[in-house]
Amino acid sequence: MNNKNIEIIVFGKVQGVGFRYSTKKVADRFNLNGFVQNLIDGTVLIHVNGEASIVDEFTSKIKDSPTPYGHVDNIKVTNINEINDKGFIIK
């Protein structure tokens, strides 16, 4: 199994619109591990790990905004070494 661990920073209308809750629903559906959290600058931080092709599919769902009330302008994806293996949580 080819695992992928990434950090995603999401820019746009992503706070106060149910973005974290919707992101968790997508991650849970894909059985991924990690977390999602609002940052003070108005962006959302996501750490996610799992099977590479599933992480890629998750990333494209995030690009399209998992909530109809939000709008993603841009995302920044970085490979990380941190591994979360306790499910996906909202911080």
10-64: per-residue pLDDT in tens? 999 999 999 999 999 999 999 999 999 999 999 999 999 999 999 999 999 999 9
CATH code assigned at 41: 3.30.70.100
Non-local CB neighbours of 50 within 8 Å, separated by 6+ positions: 3, 4, 30, 31, 32, 33, 58
Predicted local confidence at residue 86, as pLDDT: 86
Structural domains counted in the chain? 1
Q: Which domain holds residue 67?
A: 3-90
Enzyme catalytic residues: 20, 38
Range with the poorest average pLDDT among 24-33, 60-69, 81-90: 81-90
How far is the CA of 62 from the CAs of 1, 15, 48, 65, in angstroms? 23, 14, 12, 5
- Whole-model pTM above 0.75? yes
pLDDT score, position 82: 80
Q: What local confidence, expressed as pLDDT, does residue 85 receive?
A: 83
Q: What is the mean pLDDT of residues 52-78?
A: 96
